[in-house]
Structure 1
Amino acid sequence: MKPTFTFSIIGGTLLVLLMPNLLVAQTNDYGTTRRPATCPSRTKPKTGAPSVEQAKMYFICDYEGLGGIQGERGSYMWLVGDINIEVAPVSRRFTPNDLPFNNRNGGTQLGMDPDKPVYDIRGSYTSYSCFNWPDKVGRNCDVDYFSDSTGICFLDTFGGWHCRMIGGQMKSERNVPPPTN
């Protein structure tokens, strides 16, 4: 019985000692617990327009990401919040004007399928660009507020949905705290 009690004390003591480190480990180099979103699947809906919730999810997954060499000074993270999106109820054909939406942050191509229908979207969102500046943790993000943005939801050549918006009126703030949710 005594060894169990002793191990309980040791285990409890270790837990108390390690708890601050666990909390610190939950934040990243950008001073937030937020991580860029990823979409486990992009295949719904099979037909018709994406719902507003689906369009938001695909927009977030396309927009958010990491850049630079993670863990090194100057690396960065894109996050998005306060998203309002309207999805057009009817589709239209692809046009060459849609090509700017084919680029992901960082310049990679999304593989837009020009033979599939395109759904126009419009809305507003808040964009966070947070940088790994150890001397500025807690005030290391730039925030851009976009209103009256326009974009599209489209299918790539593998049948996955993407939703992108650009432009619109913008207001900016610099050196602000990172988002918490």
Structure 2
Amino acid sequence: MTSATLPLIPVPSERGKFYLIIEELSQLFRSLVPIQLWYKYIMGDDPSSSYFLGGILIILYSLCKSFDICGRVGSVRKALKVLCTPQTYGVRATSQQCSEAGDICAICQAEFREPLILMCQHVFCEECLCLWFDREKTCPLCRSVTVETLRCWKDGTTSAHFQVY
């Protein structure tokens, strides 16, 4: 049986997908929280203040905030899509393929644990590939593109977007 006829094995997603969802939801929440406070601040409690200027500022604020929220909702949708789609890297390697590769993973330099063979015929541990493909989308040895998209787990830091409103 050749490696092309073996079924593709989905690689476990680790916790990264859930971290991505949590971070995108927290960014959406962070964007929604100040809305009420800004509306009260712009309109003010003093009835003698100018409602015309306040109305114009509310309209501008609402437009800017709606664009921001639409972008955040889109990011949450993308994160949910990443969560729901399984990632496959290759097929289970046979013992013969492992021995041809030297019985040692090129990433961890230990004996293979649950080996996978990529389309470029290189063999690695499944866990090592998960860690590698968190940052790269190419084979660790030959640099051929193996993963169609770079996984975009975030590290929990706040975004570089300076939130004024």
TM-score by length of 1: 0.22
Q: Which has the higher contact order (CA 8 A, sep 6+)?
A: 2
Structure number having the greater helix percentage: 2
Structure number having the greater strand percentage: 1
TM-score by length of 2: 0.23
